[in-house]
Amino acid sequence: MKRNQKGFTLIELLIVVAIIGIIVAIAIPNLLNAIQRAKQRRSMGDARTIATACEAYAVDLNRYPPAAGYTLPGGMSIAATTTCGNMQNYVQPTYVAKVPLADGWNSWFNYATDANYQHYFVRSAGKDGSIQGTPNWGPTTNFNDDIIFVDGQFVQFPEGVQN
């Protein structure tokens, strides 16, 4: 007499669980990496938004919005910076509807100008939220590295596979 068997055997269930485990082990790290890359891209886009507002301000007033001083290549220091919250009074809402104050990791953007307000600097502190002592200048492969935008271009930016 033939029995009508319903359900799955233990071995079949274990095989399905093992396959799901393998898929999850592959997918989760890729998902986490994609989330960090998205935060980098958001930070880069927001830095461009801040820079565009500064450029528009400079077209009208022949100087960038004031902030604490900075210097760059060839004797340039970036120690004295301020958050973008201080410069939003100059550019919002005339040049940008809303200044993005925080980067993709929810750390404040830094903004600085030189003493004559002829050059500007926007920086995201990266995933770790701490400012690098000495920037790497150029492409970086670490989520913790700062993203730096100076006078219309990125001078330190993420590129390639990130750690």
Q: Which residue has the tokens 């701490």?
A: 130
Looking at the 3D structure of the chain, how many domains does it have?
1
The reported pTM is: 0.79
Question: HEC profile for 10-40?
Answer: HHHHHHHHHHHHHHHHHHHHHHHHHHHHHHH
Residue 121's pLDDT band, with cuts at 50, 70 and 90, is confident
Average the pLDDT over 148-163 and give the result: 86
Q: Which two tokens stand for residue 55?
A: 């450029």
Residue 2's pLDDT band, with cuts at 50, 70 and 90, is low
Residues 29-58 as b or e (16 or more Cβ within 10 Å = b)? eeeeeeebeebbebbbebbebbbebbeebb
Residues 114-128 as b or e (16 or more Cβ within 10 Å = b)? beebebbbbbbbbbe
CA distance 86 to 67: 7
CA atoms within 13 A on the CB side of 60: 10
Q: What would the pLDDT profile of 58-104 be if each residue is shown by its tens digit? A: 999 999 888 765 555 444 455 556 777 778 888 989 999 999 999 99
Judge whether 5 lies within some domain: no
CA distance 119 to 55: 10
Judge whether 63 lies within some domain: yes
> What pLDDT score does 74 carry?
45
Judge whether 126 lies within some domain: yes
The domain spanning residue 91 has which CATH number?
Answer: 3.30.700.10
> What pLDDT score does 46 carry?
96
Domain holding 74, by residue range, is: 10-158
Judge whether 14 lies within some domain: yes
Question: What are residue 95's phi and psi, to 5 degrees?
Answer: -105, -20
Judge whether 1 lies within some domain: no
Q: What would the pLDDT profile of 12-52 be if each residue is shown by its tens digit? A: 999 999 999 999 999 998 899 999 999 999 999 999 999 99
CA atoms within 13 A on the CB side of 5: 5
Judge whether 3 lies within some domain: no
> What pLDDT score does 149 carry?
93
Judge whether 153 lies within some domain: yes
Judge whether 54 lies within some domain: yes
